[in-house]
Amino acid sequence: MVLVDRYGRPVTHLRISVTLRCNHECIFCHREGIFTNPIVELEPWEWGFVAKVGVKLGIVNYKLTGGEPLVRGDIHEIVEEIHNAGGKVSMVTNGSLLKYYADKLANAGLEQVNISLHSLNPYTFYEITRGRLEKVIEGIKSAKQAGIKVKIDYLVLSLNSKEYKDIIGFAEKHGLDLNIIELIPLGLVGEEYWKLHYPLKEIEEYLEKHSIKKYYREFQFRPTYVMPTGIKVSIVKGYGNPLLCARCTRLRATPDGKLKTCIYVNRTVDMRPAIINRDEKQLEEKFREAVRLREPYFKFKDLGVYKRIWSTKTLEEVSLVDD
């Protein structure tokens, strides 16, 4: 069974903010679109219950994020609970605490970790994150040694835009896939956003010239370039991109147990009472309600596009590869 919204988009992913607490202070932080502080954070068993019900409904992919998920001392327990419920678990982290948790996370069933690496210059890195670059590098090494698949997330800003070749080179040297991400105007107001925003055109032209293959990932139609070393570099443009929205298969969850239909939309469905009462039928209905409310934030004018996108595996001049 897979839940499908009225635009024909199946829901197979749940992105869980396990906490809004963080040990970095990134200047671009959008808090996953969650701007109220939760009174409580769900316990590991509660996320396990969510996954148990979610997997029955076809939601098999779970990405843990924050805040910084590793500030939770029980993060490996959350991973284990979701993994034991049948979910595939990945994580987004700033990586600064990974050396303390990598082995526990691997043993708990974590399959992949996306590590934020926004600069290779310690001073620029500190200016952007208020964190220490060397701790993140240690985290990357620890995750690799623990057998966790590592992907790098590089958010392009005016402060670090000239480092893209170095970041790609770092990823190639260490055999890591890479997401190159455009800044979105969420959590930033007006001039703040435009001061930090940097377009990706120059980087895309570089990748077009130096890659050996280009394809579009099935998830969110992300253009992906295969470099000569074999690593994959994906371009993520999350704002003003109806093609990305058309292929979105994700719901979101807040630390206190609310379902969020989109990062840009404040509408939520409260599943916490169903979780506390261990009411599987009620929780199923909360998932169904969220899917009914779900819609692309950036839409095509021709709504028939959605049916065509999901009725075929290929679009004109677009090769879809699920990796």
Give the three-class secondary structure for 82.
helix
Residue 57, domain extent: 3-321
Residues 6 or more apart whose Cβ sits within 8 Å of residue 310: 8, 9, 10
Report the pLDDT averaged over residues 282-297. Answer: 97
Contact at 8 Å (CB) between 18 and 63?
no
- For residue 45, give the CATH number of its domain: 3.20.20.70
314 pLDDT band (50/70/90 cuts)?
low
310 pLDDT band (50/70/90 cuts)?
confident
Q: Identify the burial level of 302 via C-beta atoms within 10 angstroms of its C-beta, where 0-12 means exposed, 13-18 middle and 19 or more buried.
A: exposed
Residues 6 or more apart whose Cβ sits within 8 Å of residue 173: none
pLDDT of residue 306: 87
Q: Looking at the whole model, is its pTM more than 0.75? A: yes
pLDDT of residue 182: 98
Tokens read off for 6: 């009225």
The pLDDT tens digits of the residues spanning 188-235 come to: 888 999 999 999 999 999 999 999 999 988 878 899 999 999 999 999
pLDDT of residue 312: 65
pLDDT of residue 322: 39
Considering its fold, how many domains does the chain have in total?
1
In whole angstroms, give the CA distance from residue 77 to residue 178: 27
For the cut 80, the answer to whether the pLDDT of residue 313 exceeds it is no
